[in-house]
Amino acid sequence: MATINFKGTPISTLGNLPKAGEQLKDFDLITNGLAHVSLKDFAGKKLVLNIFPSLDTGVCAASVRTFNKAAAGLKDTKVLCISRDLPFAQSRFCGAEGIENAITLSDFATGKFGKDYQLEMTSGPLAFLHSRAVIVADAHGKILYSEQVPEITQEPDYEKALAAL
């Protein structure tokens, strides 16, 4: 179990994020078009997994906007923005915000991604949602960088994440 904070109050997650040198775990997430995607759908691409509780918060929305902007200039790289938001809400947000370079994916159906990556919050007002985290992997799925943001209301370290590519 890892401890992070929500507005200064300690809360728990299932465990610790995978670390640099480990392999990404397979996943089954849902696109805005309600199709299922897995890790193999991104084979041969470097990945930035931008993981967060919900697009309905300012910090989460800011992270998607920031990574969307960065993704436009990243060669052979996909930015996956992952939450438990419904695909309809993700689609609406992307349309309203002009998000074209980042891919929003939902873990609403089972929450298995949050469990497998040990980032599901297990206490506090946001229990069962994903904590804020970033995982960067090379084209072979080897993790180059991971960050469990210690305070949910803070943005991730974009510079370190993108520098890992």
Structural domain spans, the chain:
3-163
User: Which helix H or strand E contains 161, and what residues bound it?
Assistant: helix 158-163
pLDDT (average), residues 117-137: 96
Q: What does 59-125 look like in DSSP terms, one character per residue?
A: HHHHHHHHHHHHHTT-TTEEEEEEESS-HHHHHHHHHHHT--SEEEEE-TTT-HHHHHTT-BB-SST
Q: Is residue 122 scored above 90 in pLDDT?
A: yes
Domain spanning 3-163, CATH class? alpha beta
- pLDDT, one tens digit per residue, over 84-120 is 999 998 888 766 777 777 789 999 999 999 999 999 9
- pLDDT, one tens digit per residue, over 26-76 is 999 999 999 999 999 999 999 999 999 998 777 767 887 888 778 778 889
For residue 155, name the pLDDT band (cuts at 50, 70, 90): very high
Q: What is the pLDDT of residue 74?
A: 83
Task: Given the residues 51, 55, 60, 135, select the one marked as catalytic.
Answer: 60
Give the separation between CA 36 and CA 153, rounded to whole angstroms.
30
Catalytic annotation on 60?
yes
The secondary structure of residue 42, as a DSSP letter, is G
Give the separation between CA 151 and CA 3, rounded to whole angstroms.
10
What predicted TM-score, i.e. pTM, was given to this entire model? 0.93
